[in-house]
Amino acid sequence: MQNIDEIGKQLITQIAGSDSPRDVLKAPELKQLYGVIKTLPSGQRAVYGKRINELKIALESAVNARESELESATVESLDITAPWDVNSGPQNLLLTENGSQHPLTKEIENVSDIFTRMGFEVIESRQIDDDHHMFGTLNFPDNHPARDGYDTFRTEEGFIAPAHTSTMQNRILQDGKKKLESGGQIGVVAIGRCFRNEDLDATHEHTFHQCEGVFVSETATLGQMLGTLRSFFEAYYGQSLNIRTQPSYFPFVEPGLEFAIEKPASLGGSSKDKEWLEMLGCGMIHPNVLIAAGIDPKKYRGFAWGGGIERLVMLKYGIEDIRHFESGKLQFLREFA
């Protein structure tokens, strides 16, 4: 009996320090202890057997305790991507099977669905481009100061990290030309990452997303554009909205407008002080942009718009700082899980 206690103590110490605690249960001393049972006179077997059972239970729980200790240590050391200030302990880590969609991914799907239902084709915008698509085909004259407004990142080779999804306009128009010629229309929405080298604050981030729309037909009008945009925002926010436009300048549209919605009460708007939220830039596609894509501006006309996705999502969920999106903070992401 004393033997059982001694061996038990030894094994429990071994388990507590072992990297493979379950292997300790295969120790020959244990087998020997178990074997003793058969050699005992029947009167002693019950008592001995009970002690052995107690030992087994104690060893098993020591093994379990050690295994979970090892497991949490492994999770902690493996998660090299977790921000140190958020994940102070292993209990805070998201298990992969509990992962969730990034709020932007979810909302981009939402936006795509709405435009798809309205009859637009939705494509992804490029993340690397050239001066020709970003500026040249969009009626920015060489060395024009309007180019500076876009705080563009450039590679040493002269490529550009697009500062707006309008970088897709020329391709959309070129690809759609055949449709126009066979009596159809161009209706495409391009969504993707954009980059600007600007000072960061709660409403400015170097990496963000835009949604660009391009529509061309023989009869497109500004009124159709405003109707399309209003329908989109009303579908996105699930309520009717007041809209407002103001003249604005973009070289690739004429006239150019800024499009705003009135902050609805359900999203924190006050009924006394109207608050207009500028959501995007838009306008009738400039004839030079159509010409650059080989489309005759005397025969066809179109409208285009482009606006930030983050702004849309921030208003929907009351997110106060745009920098949360790219921060990788699990605390923020969990709110959308």
Nearer to ligand PHE, 264 or 283 (CB): 283
Whole-number minimum distance, CB 249 to ligand PHE, in Å? 9
Pairing of strands 243-248, 207-217: unpaired
Q: Which of residues 271-290 bind ligand PHE (CB under 6 A)?
A: 281-283
C-alpha angle 168-174-180 in degrees, rounded to nearest 5: 120
Q: Would residue 283 be called left, alpha or beta, if left means φ above 0 and alpha means ψ between -120 and 50 degrees?
A: left
Helical pair 309-317 and 222-237, crossing angle rounded to 10 deg: 40
Q: How far apart are CA 333 and CA 99, in angstroms?
A: 9
Q: Which of residues 147-166 bind ligand PHE (CB under 6 A)?
A: 164, 166
Nearer to ligand PHE, 33 or 315 (CB): 315
Binding letters toward ligand PHE, positions 42-61, x by CB under 6 A: --------------------
Q: How far apart are CA 153 and CA 47, in angstroms?
A: 80
Nearer to ligand PHE, 251 or 269 (CB): 251
DSSP codes joined into one string, 237-265: HTS---EEEEEE--TTEEEEEEEEEE--G
228 touching ligand PHE, by CB under 6 A: no
- Number of residues forming the site for ligand PHE (CB under 6 A): 11
Q: How far apart are CA 114 and CA 191, in angstroms?
A: 13
Nearer to ligand PHE, 195 or 305 (CB): 305
Whole-number minimum distance, CB 147 to ligand PHE, in Å? 12
Nearer to ligand PHE, 140 or 250 (CB): 250
Binding letters toward ligand PHE, positions 289-318, x by CB under 6 A: ---------------xxx------------
CA 1 to chain centre: 63
Q: Which residues bind ligand PHE (CB under 6 A)?
A: 164, 166, 250, 253, 256, 281-283, 304-306
